[in-house]
């Protein structure tokens, strides 16, 4: 069974050295193997030409080498955004997105197959959670995209399907490998992790004092409204979540991002702006307004353009940093999780 084999792409260099010794190999081979996997992003052992054939064969027998299979890619004619559907070895499929910005390429990865958090506007949660992704499955989304395009990835955002704090240990290992100087060597400052607000894990992450950006999916200005949109608010009250964001800033010195999906008639009123400004008053933060991406399973709509601008201007008047998220790949798909959802429904027919 593949699952019982060693997932070597999820190991750091030290672990890989011990592993090589345990199978009777010289530890220096670990460095070569590590560079093939993480620096050169090899898709199989066969590509590792400075490893002997017999070692390649041994590794094939002993290890599970995670390499995602590209099932589909949609390319935007407007801005070159590429939306990928990858198949995992167990037959599950996940989505990843490459966005091209002036300051470099950004990849948005999934952290789980599905999600169990049940946010009302989100397509990723409609079929619940299947499982968390391994560190190697998170990394390989970036590796396959780099190989496919031949372009360097500057930023990584963990904002695709899944709740990263619900897969915490694998998330931490993923960040360790992603930012390792012997691998892709992406700076921690160029990594963003988005959460629906799982307070104990946010605090645990803060204590690690990494230099990554924490993004909180806030989406409401009061506990009542947040409860309407996000069931996780039953567990962690809005002020508790904001406190955890303050703590993150205190521990890391990193400005927190608040994501606020604007839903017409639900969280876009004048009262909402006022309450939101009060809620985050005095914080070193940034608000990212995201006009909600309608999904067919729900009746949520975007506010009109004027209402969105008005919301932004009023926050700015309260000295809050705010941007309206530019919609990338408008022509290729709607909300995150929809490509996967469509693929699954099609396969079930
Ligand atoms: C898919 S989630 C993944 C990360 C994490 N689970 C979270 O909730 O922050 C990334 C962001 O997309 C937002 N999102 C999900 N569905 C959306 C939709 N239909 N329209 C706009 N934003 C959406 C989420 O609220 C969240 O801010
Ligand atoms: S918004 Fe995030 S936490 Fe909420 S259901 Fe979607 S993926 Fe899960």
Q: Residues 134-175: pLDDT tens digits?
A: 999 999 999 999 999 999 999 999 999 999 999 999 999 999
Determine if ligand 1 sits within 6 Å of the CB of residue 124.
yes
Q: What's the mean per-residue pLDDT of the chain?
A: 94
**Ligand 2 geometric centre to CA of 230 (Å):** 9
Specify which residues 112 forms β-bridges with.
Answer: 132
Q: Which residue has the tokens 């929809």?
A: 338
Q: What is the pLDDT of residues 146-155, one digit of tens each?
A: 999 999 999 9
104: tokens are: 């470099």
> Is ligand 1 within 6 A of the CB of residue 112?
no
- The architecture in CATH of the region 69-348 reads Alpha-Beta Barrel (3.20)
What does pTM read for this prediction?
Answer: 0.95
Mean pLDDT of 48-72: 95
What's the 108 CA to ligand 2 centre distance in angstroms? Answer: 14
Task: Give the Cα separation of 239 and 278 in Å (integer).
Answer: 12
* pLDDT attached to residue 335: 56
* Percentage of residues of the chain with pLDDT beyond 90: 88
What is the arithmetic mean of pLDDT over 19-46?
A: 95
Residues of the chain with CATH 3.20.20.70: 69-348
Per-residue pLDDT tens for 105-122? Answer: 999 999 999 999 999 999
pLDDT digits (tens, 9 = 90+) for 181-213: 999 999 999 999 999 999 999 999 999 999 999
> Residue 340 — pLDDT band, cuts 50, 70, 90?
confident
State if residue 293 touches ligand 2 by the CB under 6 angstroms criterion: no
CATH code for residues 2-64:
1.10.150.530
ipTM: 0.99
Residues making up the binding site: 115, 119, 122, 162-163, 194, 217-219, 293
Q: Give the pLDDT score at 341.
A: 67
Read off the pLDDT of each residue in 209-222 and give the average, rounded to a whole number. Answer: 98
Nearest bound ligand to CA 110?
1
Residue ranges of the binding site for S-adenosyl-L-methionine: 162-163, 194, 217-219, 293
Could you give the residue numbers annotated as active site? 95, 336
Point out which residues pair with 101 in neighbouring strands: 104
Query: So what's the pLDDT on residue 2?
Result: 43
For position 110, what pLDDT does the model report? Answer: 98
Find where tokens 């990394």 sit.
Answer: 139
Q: DSSP class of residue 186?
A: -
Q: What is the mean pLDDT of residues 318-338?
A: 80
Is residue 233 within 6 Å of ligand 2 at its C-beta? no
Q: Where in the chain is the domain with CATH 1.10.150.530?
A: 2-64
Q: Answer whether residue 349 shows pLDDT above 60.
A: no
Residue whose CA is at the smallest distance from ligand 1 atom 24: 217
**How much of the chain is helix, strand and coil, in % rounded to 5?**
40, 20, 35
User: Is residue 345 over pLDDT 70?
Assistant: no
Token pair in block for residue 174: 């993923």
Q: What is the pLDDT of residue 160?
A: 96
């Amino acid at each position: 069974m593949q699952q019982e084999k060693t997932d070597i792409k999820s190991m750091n260099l030290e672990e890989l050295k011990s592993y090589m010794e345990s199978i009777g190999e010289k530890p220096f081979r670990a460095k070569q193997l590590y560079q093939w996997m993480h620096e050169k992003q090899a898709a199989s052992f066969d590509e590792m030409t400075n490893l002997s054939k017999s070692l390649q064969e041994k590794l094939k027998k002993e290890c599970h080498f995670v390499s995602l299979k590209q099932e589909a890619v949609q390319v935007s004619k407007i801005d070159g955004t590429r939306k990928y559907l990858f198949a995992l070895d167990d037959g599950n499929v996940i989505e990843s997105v490459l966005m091209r910005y002036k300051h470099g390429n950004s990849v948005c990865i999934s952290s789980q197959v599905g999600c169990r958090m049940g946010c009302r506007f989100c397509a990723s949660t409609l079929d619940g959670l299947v499982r968390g992704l391994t560190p190697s499955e998170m990394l390989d989304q970036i590796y396959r995209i780099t190989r496919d395009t031949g372009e360097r990835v500057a930023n990584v955002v963990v904002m695709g399907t899944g709740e990263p704090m619900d897969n915490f240990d694998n998330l931490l290992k993923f960040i360790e490998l992603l930012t390792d100087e012997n691998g892709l060597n992406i700076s921690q400052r160029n990594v963003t992790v988005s959460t629906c607000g799982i307070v104990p894990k946010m605090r645990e992450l803060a204590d690690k004092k990494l230099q990554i950006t924490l993004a909180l999916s806030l989406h409401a200005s009061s506990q009542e409204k947040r409860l309407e949109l996000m069931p996780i608010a039953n567990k962690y009250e809005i002020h508790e979540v904001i406190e955890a964001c303050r703590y993150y800033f205190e521990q890391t010195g990193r400005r927190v991002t608040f994501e606020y999906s604007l839903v017409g008639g639900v969280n876009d009123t004048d009262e909402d702006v006022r309450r939101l400004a009060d809620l985050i008053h005095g914080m070193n933060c940034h608000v990212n307004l995201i006009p909600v991406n309608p999904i067919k399973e729900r009746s949520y709509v975007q506010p009109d353009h004027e209402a969105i601008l008005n919301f932004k201007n009023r926050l700015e008047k309260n000295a809050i940093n705010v941007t309206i998220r530019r919609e990338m790949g408008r022509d290729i798909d709607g909300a995150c999780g929809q490509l996967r959802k469509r693929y699954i429904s099609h396969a079930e027919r």
